[in-house]
Structures are given as structure tokens and as C-alpha cells.
Structure 1
């Protein structure tokens, strides 16, 4: 028999199961004790579900729903639920979610204002100020913005690793020096801030409007081969394109040496190329290895492409 609460919510066992299942689906397979109670489960019912294996404790008061193996986003969501509502994934965990760096799933790094979750060995909690503009929700997970993530990472990375992270952000179109500078200004004494500020200055557009080492290598290749200079970082279809020759309708994108190998990156690149084709442009891609180690071959290919 179906029973309803005064607000119309189905309180029958099947109704509660549907509610909990829908909630878990939205939260990467995990729910909190408070959410279960709100869905109509008593403390005793939750205990029975735990003993039966339908709920599996992850952190105190946080459960995975029927899953013996949790995926990465499930751990991230569980850690957020274990902390306060304003908590956000940060540091290495945020970098992994944004695709800026590879990082282990555990411990999950969180910025939080309260004490919840601080003493769990699988959660590394940072107590620091987090402005509303420094976090967003991505795939249901509150996370620091790419700019804030880079600022937080700066103090724990070597100069080389920090540059790789920033170049990765450039490659993914998640590098915004103005936003990074603003995040730094809000925390002027942050460890690593001076080195990051120096790196931002180094990566400012040069006289050619090039913004990365790879773009500068490609421009040097063009000059050595006496090829016509393109527009650099020009906008077509609402997106920045690395190198644009308007007359032959040619666009060259230079792909960072590590960062276009994943399936997600390849799908993004193909989508960008299809957009260009639909707009009447010819997209061509060269890898870091080609630009750095096969410049003569690229020059010969470009001569042919620019004649069309």
C-alpha cells in the first residue's frame, strides 16, 4: 500500500527506494545520512540497509548505494558530502577533475570552512578562504575554478611542474591570466605566488600574440621557411584558433605534446575541426613532436596548403 507524506511525497518502501536511487544517480552513487532521513528512512532502516549491504559506509554518515566499487567521482562527491555545504574540491583533486594534472583519487583534497571531514585519513581538508567566484559546479561537483586551482597548486609544485600545469590549461583553453592574477591578488602571501606571477608574465602574449612555447616554436618555423605569417590566436566561430590564414581559409592548430591523447581531448578536437569545416575553413593539426623535430616536413606541407 502506498502512503504519502503531507507534502505529497511517496513514503512507501518502493517510493523511498526510487527516491534514494534517483538521488544516488545524481550524486555519482553516494548519499548522506541526512538525505536518507529526509527521504523517509528511520535510523533503524538505515542500519538494516547497511547490514544487508544495500548501503556501504564510505565516510561517517556517507554511503554508497549498492556499489562495492566506487568510481573517482563517487569518492569526490562522498568527500564533499562529508564536509560542509560550501566545501569544494581543490588542489590535486580539482586539477584532476579539470584535466590539468594526473592525481590519485585518494586522499580527496577539499577546501572547507568547517571541521567536518578534517580528521578522515582519506580527506585532506584545507581551511582557507574561498570566495564565491573561486568555485563552480561541474558535473554535480563543487570545485575550485581552473584559475583558483592553479593558484592553490603553485606552492606545492616545482617550477617545471607548475609550467606544465599552466601549459596544460592553455592547451585545454582553461588558462585565463586575468582570473589567475585576480585570485593571486586576493591571497598576496600565498606560498608559490611569486613564482606563479613570474610565470604569468613570461606567458603574456609576445609581439606575435603567441601565448605558449609551442606557438613560438611554430612561428619560428614559419619565419625560417619564409612562409606568410598568419593571424595568431584569432577568433572564429566564437573560439580562439592558433594560426589563421584568411585568404586560403586555412587554420592550423598546434597540439601540446601530451595533452591531446585522451579520448575526451580527441572528441573535443574533432568537434572544433567540424565547426571550422562547416564555416568553410580547412583545419589542419600538427603535434608538438612534429613542430619541434620535423620542421622541414611541416614547412613543405604548409607550402602546398597555402597555395590552394
Structure 2
């Protein structure tokens, strides 16, 4: 027999069996084949295209002391993580309670200050700054820097995609200093000194790391090149303004024909403005001596840089 259609509020995301009981759903309906039971007391429609955050709602609805945290909070907030991070769900309770215990969940017990927990789409989740601090004992230094770059990134009105920061570097620092004995704090403090505003992707952070690791001067982010009538025309990924050198990262999308043509126009505009563009691919960042280095070094030397 075909299962009765679920009420609209249960057709996406997770929900609790208590909520279902309150809506009049029978126990047999909750055992139907179109529902998954990822953990005790939680159901999720099998054909569910909702966001990760919506799929997590049932976990905090079941327990008003639990908070989505750690790597799971980072994924739900769109913070880029290394590919080795798995889909395990992390939940936290503040110190004084017990660890969250249920199938498929890694439970944590930690001190959560009042401003470190937010309600987002009906889900209790650690704040952006607290989420970043929790990542400090999971991630290597430069992956933590990339996560911080994502959170503090902002662009002004002259950028084609203006955006406000999710949180500020000062908020990251203040949250870190509020937990003197936090696991991973040394990693967090080192990362705070390396986070910069203006990186749009982990690859842009990686470009900066490779340059600095190999003795190049630190590049500048959020640089805008202006054309006629002071119109913004080029937005380098990273740049050396004093040497008029623009570095652009070419990802997989750059293999598309339209993007390739845009890249040619951008390089021509850059040259017209008296700048030199250095294009960098993923392969240019790999290895003990990445091939990006001689490219950038030659460009800097041509522009008058002295080692």
C-alpha cells in the first residue's frame, strides 16, 4: 500500500517522532519506506533536497541542550573544508551536562558562552567565530587560515560581487581569548596572525601560503584596477600593487570557452593599465618547488624587486 503523503512541514529536512505524533501521524506511517531513520526519534524523507542545516534540525529539536558544532557547523555554514573531512555529525553540550550520545553522532562537552550559540533556520548552531575556534583542533594551520579567510572576507561596492564579512577578525580573536584552555588554541593563535580579508577561495589562500613559504613578499588582497573614468575593470585574486603585478588563479571553470575569452580580455585590460598578469593553475601550486614560484619571481624582478 502506498504511504499517505506527509504533511507539508515534514516533506523536507528532518523532524522528530514527537513532532509527528503531535501532527497525528501514526507509528506505521513513521516506519514507511519513504522515510529514513538516521537516529533514534528522527526521520528524514528519502527524497530530500533540503540544506544540510534543515536536515540537522531534528537533532537539536530532540534535545534543547544540544548544539550543532565543530566540523558539522562549519559544513552547514558553507566554510570550505579539506576533502578528507567526512559527514559525521558533531553535536555539543555545554560543560556540566553529558556528551550527546546517539547513532552517527560524535558528541562533545564544552563551555559554550551565551553569544557562541545561534538559532539559524530553527537549528541551534555554534556562532561563526566559535565554529572557527572549534576547527582549530581538527585542521592543519593553513586549512584553518582558509576557513578564517572565508569568514572575514568582504568586498566593497567597486567589486562585481560586493559582500559583507560573516564575522570579523576581532570577533575570531575575542572568541579565542575567551577560552584560555581550549584544545587547539595554539593553532588558532598562529592562524589569527595569517588570516586576511579578501580571499574568495581556499586556492587564493593557498597561493598566498606558497608565496610566503618560498620567500616571496606577501601579496595584497582586495586590489581593484581602475580604467577610464575611474571605472573598476580588473579584480586580481592577489596582487603586488607596488610592482603592478596581478596574480590570477585559473580553476577548472577556466577551461570553458566563454571563460577563456573573458580571461583573454582581462589580461589585455591588465596590460593596457601597465600591469603584468601572472596566471596560476592548480598544478602550479604543487610540489616541493611549485612552478608558480619562478613565474612570480621573474615578474617581480622585471618590476624592480630585489631579493
Contact 2:236 2:247 (C-alpha < 8 Å) held by counterparts: no
Match of 1:24 among 11, 14, 25: 11
Which secondary structure state, in structure 2, belongs to the residue aligned with residue 64 of structure 1? strand
The 1-side partners of 2:151 and 2:248 are apart by 12
* Uncovered stretches (5+) of structure 1, i.e. residues with no partner: 1-12, 223-229
TM-score, length basis structure 1: 0.58
Tell me the number of residue pairs that the alignment of Structure 1 and Structure 2 aligns.
249
Which secondary structure state, in structure 2, belongs to the residue aligned with residue 286 of structure 1? strand
Once the two structures are superposed, what CA deviation does each residue of 1:60-91 show, in whole Å capped at 9, x if it has no partner? 3211224599996676444333332x643222
Which secondary structure state, in structure 2, belongs to the residue aligned with residue 35 of structure 1? helix
Contact 2:220 2:241 (C-alpha < 8 Å) held by counterparts: no
Q: How far apart are residue 47 of structure 1 and its match?
A: 0.6
Once the two structures are superposed, what CA deviation does each residue of 1:236-282 show, in whole Å capped at 9, x if it has no partner? 48x9952154997x642468xxxx67x8xx99xx8xx99x96xx768
Q: How far apart are residue 93 of structure 1 and its match?
A: 2.1
Which secondary structure state, in structure 1, belongs to the residue aligned with residue 280 of structure 2? strand
Q: Are positions 1:214 and 2:206 aligned together?
A: no
Structure 2 CA distance for partners of 1:136 and 1:216, relative to 1, 3 Å: farther
Q: How far apart are residue 58 of structure 1 and its match?
A: 2.7
Which secondary structure state, in structure 2, belongs to the residue aligned with residue 110 of structure 1? strand
Q: How does 1:1-308 map to 2 (within 5 A)?
A: 17-20=6-9, 23-25=10-12, 27=13, 30-38=14-22, 41-42=23-24, 45-67=25-47, 76-84=56-64, 87-97=66-76, 98-101=79-82, 102-106=84-88, 108-113=89-94, 118-131=100-113, 133-135=115-117, 142-154=124-136, 156-157=137-138, 161-169=139-147, 172=150, 174=152, 177-201=169-193, 203=194, 212-216=208-212, 220=216, 232-236=220-224, 241-243=237-239, 245=241, 251-253=246-248, 285-287=279-281, 289-290=283-284, 292-294=289-291, 295-298=293-296
Contact 1:83 1:112 (C-alpha < 8 Å) held by counterparts: no
Once the two structures are superposed, what CA deviation does each residue of 1:131-180 show, in whole Å capped at 9, x if it has no partner? 454355678765434532332233x44xxx43132233256465754222
* Uncovered stretches (5+) of structure 2, i.e. residues with no partner: 154-167, 197-204, 225-231, 272-276
Contact 1:214 1:288 (C-alpha < 8 Å) held by counterparts: no
Q: More relative contact order in 1 or in 2 (CA 8 Å, sep 6+)? A: 2
Contact 1:87 1:142 (C-alpha < 8 Å) held by counterparts: yes
The 2-side partners of 1:247 and 1:24 are apart by 57
The 2-side partners of 1:121 and 1:91 are apart by 17
TM-score, length basis structure 2: 0.58
Once the two structures are superposed, what CA deviation does each residue of 1:196-219 show, in whole Å capped at 9, x if it has no partner? 324434x378xxxx9953342587
Larger helix fraction of residues: 1
The 2-side partners of 1:241 and 1:136 are apart by 32
Once the two structures are superposed, what CA deviation does each residue of 1:280-300 show, in whole Å capped at 9, x if it has no partner? 768764247536422334456
Structure 2 CA distance for partners of 1:299 and 1:246, relative to 1, 3 Å: closer
Question: Aligned-pair RMSD on alpha carbons?
Answer: 5.0
- Indicate the residue corresponding to 1:9 in structure 2: none
Contact 1:56 1:68 (C-alpha < 8 Å) held by counterparts: no
Q: How far apart are residue 36 of structure 1 and its match?
A: 2.4
The 2-side partners of 1:188 and 1:217 are apart by 29
The 2-side partners of 1:182 and 1:37 are apart by 44
The 1-side partners of 2:62 and 2:97 are apart by 10
